[in-house]
Structure 1
Amino acid sequence: MGYEEITHTADWALRVWAADLPGLLTEAARGMYALMGARPGAGPRARRNLSIEAYDAETLLVEFLSEALFWVESEKLVFDHFEIHLEGFSAQVEAEGAPYETLVKEIKAVTYHNLQVRKTARGLEAEIVFDV
C-alpha cells in the first residue's frame, strides 16, 4: 500500500496503490492530505460517519476524497484512521482524526481527469488529478 506524487502540467496528481479497494481509498486520502501538508494536530479526536453511494470504483474514489476534502474545509478535520465497509461500490465509512494545525496548500477539487482504477500484480492502482 502506498502513494506517490506524480508530475502533472497544471494541477497536482497522485498515484496510489493497495491490495484492495478499502486500502486504495485509505491511501488516496493519506496522499491527498500529504499533498496539502495537512496532518492531524494534538487537538481532540473526532469521528465522522460517511455514507457513499457509487456505481463504479472511480466514482467511489472521487466521492470519498471529496467527502474527506469537505471535512478539511468545513471543520479543519484531517482523518488518519478509516474503517471502510463495502457493499458493491457503496461504502459505509467511519473516519477518525483531529483538526489540522497548519495547511500548506489547498486543493479545490478532486477530478475525474483520466481516472481509472486498474487491477495490477500488487492489487489495485489509480492516478488521481486534483484541481488546485
Structure 2
Amino acid sequence: MRVAVVGAGITGLSTARTLIDAGHEVVLVERAGAPAAGASARNGAQLSYAFVAPFASPATLRQIPQLMLDPNSPLRFRPGFSPAAWRWCIEFLLACSARQAQETTAVLLSLGALSRDRFAAWR
C-alpha cells in the first residue's frame, strides 16, 4: 500500500519507518527545507523513557492559584467565554486526581518502554 506521511519531524519519520518496516511504500511530505526543521529541531533531544510525570496531577492542582497570580508564570490561560475552553479546564481539573495521575503515569511508562524498544530495534 502507498501511504503519505505529512511532516518529517520525529513523529513523521518514526511513522514512516514503521510503515516501511511493515512493507508499505511511503511518501514523506515536508514543507520545511529539511527533516526535523520544525518542532523536532527545538526539543531537548532527550530520550527519557521513565520520566513520565503527567502535568495533570495533585501537585499541579495545588500550584494553580500561585501560578495564575504570578506575572512571570509559564502558565497563562484566558478562556474568555469559550465553552470549549471552559470544558477543557474542567476536564483538566478532573484529571488532576491521584488516581488519574497514577493511571496516566502507567500508560506513559508503557509508551516510553515501547518507544525505547522501537528505537533499539532501529539501531
More strand by share: 1
- TM-score past 0.5 threshold: no
By relative contact order (CA 8 Å, sep 6+), the higher-ranking structure is: 1
Q: TM-score range by the shorter chain?
A: under 0.3
More helix by share: 2
Structure 2 length-normalised TM? 0.26
- Greater C-alpha radius of gyration: 2
